[in-house]
Chains A and B, each alone.
Chain A
Amino acid sequence: MFSIYQRGQYIVNFSLTLVGLISLFIVASSWAQLYTNNVFSIDSSISNVTPTANIKFSRRFGSSGGKPKENTKLIFDLDTDLTPLWNWNTKQVFIYLTVEYPGKKPESSNKVVYWDKIITDKNGANLTLSNELSKYSVWDVEESFRNREATVKLEWNIQPYVGPLVYGATLGKSEFIFPDVVQNSKKTKEKTKNSRNKNY
């Protein structure tokens, strides 16, 4: 008294249950490995962080209506070994250099990424970078960064073959103060003047 439907349903149900159980086992074993590897306290050193600032006018750099917008970049050194993040359920690790700084009010805050990298191979996880230039030119919600204090950290995200995403940060930390815009470029000066006079 079995129809094709019933047989099909049984096979699908059975295989889905198996897939679920196997996935659970994979996730549990990889988490156990992460904890025994102490991945939430991996050391890192972020040093020689040198920020630079300039003025941009394009929408691609956060400006609206042609108003001048302060953009900042970083140059930094980085040294860390992220190989403990690898186990049989690690598909890739996404690492990102975050900078956190206060907002206008005491309860407001900002966090931005200056640099990131996709690592797909365990052999590429031991990183030593020097004089690395940030990937992004970063602007704030406000017009300027106003010489605020900033904290730099290196964070990571494991993207697994199956299961939940795992997030964490390395221990290394560095601080800097956002610089003033260097006003020696003639072009920048003229542009700033123009945008003040004209209404786009």
Chain B
Amino acid sequence: MFWKLLSVVSNSSSPIVVVLSGSMEPAFQRGDILFLWNRFRQNKVGDVVVYEIVGKQIPIVHRVLREHHSLIKQLLLTKGDNNPVDDLGLYNYNQLYLNKDEDLLGTVFGYFPFLGYITILITENQYFKYALLGFMAITTLLGNE
């Protein structure tokens, strides 16, 4: 319910994301939580945006390096602060820019450190997952309700 409300307010399908890669270090590390806003009509150079390439379902958090806009359209080139080169190699073949209206999930406006590491543990560490499941099973068995 809270998630849906946040989605509506921020106009983003995933208003809170967890950083999964180190390409924006030292600003954003793995497990940090980012809050997104998707109601800006245009993005500025320097904005940290989250985008998804058509056909690749991995959200990427990088900074806008260049923007070219007209009244109807905005093209963006992005780069990770910690990467030596821009994101051309991450885009689809023959894709030279991101389209602001089609590829962006949102713009990062807020930051909270580390708390998202729980989701990384659950998805990537099987022992943690089993431990969590086991703990839940034991507490339901022992609890007297």
CB-CB under 8 A for A107 and B26, given A113-B65, A161-B113? no
With A and B bound together, what is the CA distance between A94 and B65 in angstroms?
Answer: 12
The winner among B44, B46, B94 for most chain A CB atoms within 10 A is: B46
Closest partner residue, chain A, to B136 (CB atom): A5
Of the candidate stretches A126-134, A152-160, A186-194, the one touching chain B is A152-160
| Residues of the B chain whose Cβ atoms lie less than 8 Å from the Cβ of A163 | 110-111
| Residues of the B chain whose Cβ atoms lie less than 8 Å from the Cβ of A164 | 109-111
Cβ contact within 8 Å between B112 and A162: yes
Interface size on A, residues (CB 8 A): 39
For residue A120, CB closer than 8 A to chain B, the reply is: yes
Of B27, B44, B109, B111, the residue contacting A94 (CB under 8 A) is: B27
| Residues of the B chain whose Cβ atoms lie less than 8 Å from the Cβ of A107 | 70-71
In the complex, what's the smallest C-beta–C-beta distance from A117 to chain B, in angstroms? Answer: 10
Interface size on B, residues (CB 8 A): 34
With A and B bound together, what is the CA distance between A113 and B62 in angstroms?
Answer: 14
Closest partner residue, chain B, to A140 (CB atom): B68
Cβ contact within 8 Å between A4 and B139: yes
Closest partner residue, chain A, to B33 (CB atom): A162
Cβ contact within 8 Å between A94 and B145: no
Of B66, B70, B88, B112, the residue contacting A60 (CB under 8 A) is: B88
12 CB-based A-B contacts, threshold 8 Å: A94-B63, A96-B45, A103-B69, A107-B70, A108-B70, A111-B67, A113-B65, A159-B28, A160-B111, A163-B110, A165-B110, A167-B46
